[in-house]
Amino acid sequence: MWDELGISAGTAVLILIALYFVIKWAVKNGIKEVYSAITGKKADEDIQNEIDLKELGLD
């Protein structure tokens, strides 16, 4: 099937891996957004990231 599209097997694997991480990132951010919308709280990871940015002076 990939040969009909002119894509080698290695390229197809790389595309599928990249697609996996993009979907994983999108689902994670969607869940965090819904959590903050429902509870009105920030996720622990977001709070820790803000603390780390303040320590580095990158507000």
Q: Which two tokens stand for residue 31?
A: 């869940």
Q: Is residue 2 predicted with pLDDT exceeding 80?
A: no
Q: What is the pTM of this model?
A: 0.64
Burial of 30: CB neighbours in 10 Å, binned 0-12, 13-18, 19+:
exposed
Per-residue model confidence as pLDDT tens digits over 22-43: 999 999 999 988 988 888 888 8
Q: Is residue 18 predicted with pLDDT exceeding 90?
A: yes
| Residue in the block written with tokens 């990871």 | 45
| Residue in the block written with tokens 């599209």 | 5
Instruction: Locate all alpha helices (DSSP H) within 1-59, ordered by sequence.
Output: 2-5, 9-39, 44-56
Q: Is residue 4 predicted with pLDDT exceeding 70?
A: yes
